[in-house]
Amino acid sequence: MLQLGEIDRADPRPPYRQIAAMLREAIESGGLEPGAKLPSEAALMEHFGVARMTARQAIQELRGEGLVIAEHGRGVFVRPMPPVRRLASDRFARAHRAAGKAAFLAEADKAGYQPGVDRIRVARAGAPKGIAERLRVEAETEVIVRERRYLANGRPVEIATSYLPVPVAGGTPVEDVDPGPGGIYARLEDAGHTLERFTEEVGARMPTPDERNALEIGPGVPVLTVVRTAFDTEGAAVEVCDTVKAAPAYLLEYDFPAR
Amino acid sequence: MLQLGEIDRADPRPPYRQIAAMLREAIESGGLEPGAKLPSEAALMEHFGVARMTARQAIQELRGEGLVIAEHGRGVFVRPMPPVRRLASDRFARAHRAAGKAAFLAEADKAGYQPGVDRIRVARAGAPKGIAERLRVEAETEVIVRERRYLANGRPVEIATSYLPVPVAGGTPVEDVDPGPGGIYARLEDAGHTLERFTEEVGARMPTPDERNALEIGPGVPVLTVVRTAFDTEGAAVEVCDTVKAAPAYLLEYDFPAR
DNA sequence: CTGTCCTAGACGTCTAGAGGAGTGTCAAAC
DNA sequence: GTTTGACACTCCTCTAGACGTCTAGGACAG
């Protein structure tokens, strides 16, 4: 059984933080393994001699850090680490598309997880400001909008929205729910837009409640945002893809020359 | 003055979430601008007819999302957006080093903020496991460790730790607190290690309490982690730099070919 | 005019207690 | 053997009140 210390009234930190620190230490040192159950609120009250709200506040602290998850009626558990998907920057290599694989599927193959896509929605709508800038069109210009959610081993890991100019992809299979082998990049190249390069802008933030829902992540879990712009050999922006990824599930790899 | 609704007892959401949602909406719609003061706990109690802890719980929700910051004795304020530092992938261009500028200074010039570095510490220590792997040396091999913290306009934005093999940089100015113009990469090139390429591994997570402290960020603010490995023309890893950045302050830009 | 002190108002922490809701177990009833 | 129900245990939400610390501004003494 887990051994915890006592509250030190001389310590300037308030009791709830001391309790949180002890539990955090237990988790990080391995005394509490991923998936293990923390002491119940009642047990913490009894052990430390504090009120319920104080014990809860300590737990709250750890939840905010994303270290633990509370399950109503069951207990509080150390968050199990999801398998990390490493995204190398060659994930859009033409060789993969030639083999009929979209980027997400190519990675799944390499990393050995079961890929999935759902909540696909294709429509036309006005381009939001940031997107329009990147596509170099006027704001609110009508563009093709492709939304979808990616799953790894059945767990949602990423939501993505692609925006494509109508002159580039209008009327092509890009506007179908299933764009066919190789994904939309393959269709763009079919349509004569040979892809030359990509830029990605990477940031991180806390998710909106909607995003938390779609990615099935608890409070205290940040998201990685990646906005990718694809350019063809003419230097024209042919797609902007706005993605939101569950941060614990991802590691992005980039490679660039020192020049 | 801000207009807020009422609690709907028919709504399945608990009151504190309803209150949080109303405040969130006010923030996102612009009704409460960045820096604006939220209603005090007493005002929320009075307006919604709830106990103080319930009002606090609503505020707690928003703090966890990083939307607001509480200032003891003053009030709760909408978090002001820090200026974003955009990091282009040419930030390690040799031209900058030749001009005597380290990467951080080169960016500051371009983006127009006042750069700063403090808490510099240079030492030798055993290489941690992950670092040793990337440097392709045995774990616990003695390496040079350079720690420092970067400031933009006086505000800490990044903490970084570089690890370099002793055979590569031992006895060079890299081991001095001030490595001279162009930074340590310039010194590596002086020592005959011409840099060829970099890899960066980007992730995001919640900060540890230590990191929160060093970066002076409140709860609910995630960090971006970037581990950069520098390779010389011989293909040898000559430096691993482990950085932790305050997420709201950064946007990383990468550029890569479609191949 | 200056500096000190006081005070109101704000958030921080803790206590004590209550009812609610989800989960799992086990014994009784069928 | 299966189902049902009671119950214990868990976390969730809310109330009410107390005291502490910090901030800002006004009153007051020097």
Arithmetic mean of pLDDT, B142-161: 93
CA–centroid distance for A4 within its chain = 34
3-state secondary structure of B96: helix
Which pLDDT belongs to residue B113? 86
Model confidence over B126-138: pLDDT tens digits? 999 999 999 999 9
Long-range contact pairs involving B55-60 (C-beta distance under 8 Å, separation at least 24): B55/B16, B55/B19, B57/B16, B57/B20, B58/B16, B58/B17, B58/B19, B58/B20, B58/B23, B59/B20, B59/B23, B60/A60
My answer on whether A103 and A170 are in the same domain is yes
My answer on whether B29 and B134 are in the same domain is no
Model confidence over B164-174: pLDDT tens digits? 999 999 888 98
Sequence-separated (6 or more) residues with CB below 8 Å from residue B61 = B16, B17, B20
In a domain, B4, yes or no: no
My answer on whether A65 and A106 are in the same domain is no
Q: How confident is the prediction along chain A (259 residues), in pLDDT tens digits per residue? A: 677 888 888 888 999 999 999 999 999 998 999 999 999 999 999 999 999 999 999 999 999 888 999 999 999 999 988 778 888 877 887 877 777 778 888 888 878 888 899 999 999 999 999 999 999 999 899 999 999 999 988 889 999 999 999 999 888 888 989 988 888 999 999 999 999 999 999 999 999 888 988 898 888 899 999 999 999 999 999 999 999 999 999 999 999 998 7
Q: Which residue is nearest to nucleotide C13 (CA to C1')?
A: A14
The last residue of a domain, from among A62, A78, A94: A78
In a domain, A152, yes or no: yes
Window from A6-20, B13-27, B99-113 with minimum mean pLDDT: B99-113
3-state secondary structure of A107: helix
Closest alpha carbon within chain B to A95: B259
Which pLDDT belongs to residue B1? 61
pLDDT top residue among B95 and A122: A122
Q: Give the rounded percent of residues in chain B with a pLDDT score beyond 90.
A: 63
My answer on whether B150 and B228 are in the same domain is yes
Specify the amino acid at residue B184. I
What does the alpha-carbon distance between residue A236 and residue A123 come to, in Å, rounded to a whole number? Answer: 22
Q: Would an 8 Å CB–CB cutoff place A66 in contact with chain B? A: yes
My answer on whether A203 and A126 are in the same domain is yes
CB of residue A1 closer than 7 A to nucleic acid strand D? no
3-state secondary structure of B90: coil
Query: For position B65, which CATH number holds?
Result: 1.10.10.10
List C-alpha distances in Å: B179 to A149, B2, B43, B91, B236: 47, 54, 55, 18, 22
Q: Structure pTM?
A: 0.88
Q: Would an 8 Å CB–CB cutoff place B66 in contact with chain A? A: yes
Which pLDDT belongs to residue A230? 95
Q: CA-to-C1' distance for B25 and D21, Å? A: 31
My answer on whether A58 and A155 are in the same domain is no
What does the alpha-carbon distance between residue A36 and residue A72 come to, in Å, rounded to a whole number? Answer: 15
Query: For position A119, which CATH number holds?
Result: 3.40.1410.10
Which pLDDT belongs to residue B199? 94
Closest CA to A64 of B5, B72, B56, B220: B220
My answer on whether B229 and B128 are in the same domain is yes
Q: CA-to-C1' distance for B72 and C2, Å? A: 28
Which pLDDT belongs to residue A168? 93
In a domain, A258, yes or no: no
- Strand C positions with any atom < 7 Å from protein CB? 9-18, 20-24
Determine how many CB atoms are found less than 10 A away from the CB of residue A49: 11
3-state secondary structure of A101: coil
Number of domains in chain A: 2
Closest alpha carbon within chain A to B230: A258
My answer on whether B101 and B150 are in the same domain is yes
Closest alpha carbon within chain B to A91: B258
- Strand D positions with any atom < 7 Å from protein CB? 9-18, 20-24
List C-alpha distances in Å: B116 to B24, B102, B119, B212, B225: 35, 12, 10, 19, 20
My answer on whether A116 and A184 are in the same domain is yes
Q: Residue B148, exposed/middle/buried by CB under 10 A (0-12, 13-18, 19+)?
A: middle
Query: Does A256 contact B204 at a Cβ distance shorter than 8 Å?
Result: no
Average pLDDT, chain B: 91
Determine how many CB atoms are found less than 10 A away from the CB of residue A180: 14
Closest alpha carbon within chain B to A248: B205
List C-alpha distances in Å: B8 to A172, B14, B223: 48, 9, 37
Q: Taking a C-beta distance cutoff of 8 angstroms, is the pair A23, A38 a contact?
A: yes
As a three-state string, the secondary structure of B130-187 is HHHHHHCCCCCCEEEEEEEEEEECCEEEEEEEEEEEHHHHCCCHHHCCCCCCCHHHHH
Domain containing A192 equals 85-252
Give the closest-approach CA distance of B17 to chain A in angstroms.
11
Determine how many CB atoms are found less than 10 A away from the CB of residue B111: 14
My answer on whether B90 and B183 are in the same domain is yes
Arithmetic mean of pLDDT, B167-191: 89
My answer on whether A187 and A216 are in the same domain is yes
CB of residue B64 closer than 7 A to nucleic acid strand D? no
Which pLDDT belongs to residue A81? 83
Nearest-by-Cβ selection for B222 from A195, A198, A205 = A205
In a domain, B6, yes or no: no
Check residue B14 and report its DSSP letter: -
My answer on whether B89 and B29 are in the same domain is no
What does the alpha-carbon distance between residue A252 and residue B199 come to, in Å, rounded to a whole number? Answer: 10
Closest CA to A59 of A46, A47, A77: A77
Nearest nucleotide to A40 (CA to C1') is D10
Model confidence over B33-82: pLDDT tens digits? 999 999 999 999 999 999 999 999 999 999 988 899 999 999 999 998 87
E strand or H helix that includes residue B7: none
Q: Would an 8 Å CB–CB cutoff place A219 in contact with chain B? A: yes
Give the closest-approach CA distance of B200 to chain A in angstroms.
5
In a domain, B186, yes or no: yes
In a domain, B9, yes or no: no
In a domain, A243, yes or no: yes
Give the closest-approach CA distance of B133 to chain A in angstroms.
16
Give the closest-approach CA distance of A248 to chain B in angstroms.
7
CB of residue A135 closer than 7 A to nucleic acid strand D? no
Nearest-by-Cβ selection for A92 from B89, B199, B258 = B258
What does the alpha-carbon distance between residue A221 and residue B55 come to, in Å, rounded to a whole number? Answer: 23
Q: CA-to-C1' distance for B86 and D29, Å? A: 56
Per the DSSP assignment, residues forming a β-bridge with A81 are none
What does the alpha-carbon distance between residue B21 and residue A42 come to, in Å, rounded to a whole number? Answer: 31
Q: CA-to-C1' distance for B76 and C7, Å? A: 21
Interface mutation target, options A69, A205, A229, A240, chain B, most CBs of B under 10 Å: A205
Which pLDDT belongs to residue A9? 86
What does the alpha-carbon distance between residue B104 and residue B116 come to, in Å, rounded to a whole number? Answer: 9
The last residue of a domain, from among B32, B48, B78: B78
In a domain, B235, yes or no: yes
Tell me how many residue pairs between chain A and chain B have CB atoms under 8 A apart. 134
Determine how many CB atoms are found less than 10 A away from the CB of residue B216: 12
